[in-house]
A = this chain, B = another copy of it.
């Protein structure tokens, strides 16, 4: 195995801004597992903790998995312009804090957002319209077939029958949205899918324009402005 400290360190030095990685997928495609593995692997990649109005599931901890807040507080945060994006999914609201995101990126840390298609689309529009000037990378995780996707949703076992039907319909609509994502990772098995996600993160960190601070430090006489 390689020295991940050394490799990831190529990016974070010398004042280059962090990168915001957005990972979307239909329900049950494994995006949450992939994002967690990425945060474990890269010492300078952070998970952004979303705000949500839904109730904690078994094993979920406030402040770690989500910030669990009331509908009223969520509405106040919307009105205060505190969200980079927010969305309502299956009757619950989810949102990402603008300030927390900007602060981590300014510190040179990368962020990975486990985010639904609606939320990713809001961020995409803000970037396209130059309202949010950060390097954003959009990644779509896909099960190997529609049949497989349906099987995964049915086998989660955590949801009511109505919730399952709603998730199936949502999954079909979400998959069509992959068309505006930059990268697609087919999650046929977790190890290969993670290798791909890791590669996208390392490759994006290796883009020349994202390394200019570092490069000017290494070659001051050749790369002065």
Contact = CB atoms under 8 A, between A and B. Distances in A.
B195 A208 contact: no
A222 B6 contact: no
A191 B222 contact: no
A87 interface: no
Given A191-B2, A192-B7, A206-B200, A144 B183 contact: no
A222 B146 contact: yes
A145 B199 contact: no
Interface stretch (A27-35, A114-122, A170-178): A170-178
A198 B7 CA distance: 13
A206 B219 contact: no
State how many copies of this chain the complex holds: 2
Given A195-B7, A200-B206, A202-B195, A175 B219 contact: yes
Contacts of A126: none
Contacts of A181: 208
A97 interface: no
A222 B206 CA distance: 34
Contact of A184 (B188, B195, B215): B215
A199 B191 contact: no
Interface string A190-212: 01100110111111101110010
B208 A184 contact: yes
A199 B206 contact: yes
A51 B142 CA distance: 42
Given A182-B207, A183-B206, A218-B186, A192 B2 contact: yes
A179 interface: yes
Contacts of A6: 188-189, 192
A208 B183 contact: yes
Contacts of A10: 186, 196
Contacts of A191: 2-3
A144 B214 CA distance: 11
A176 B145 CA distance: 46
A215 B177 CA distance: 13
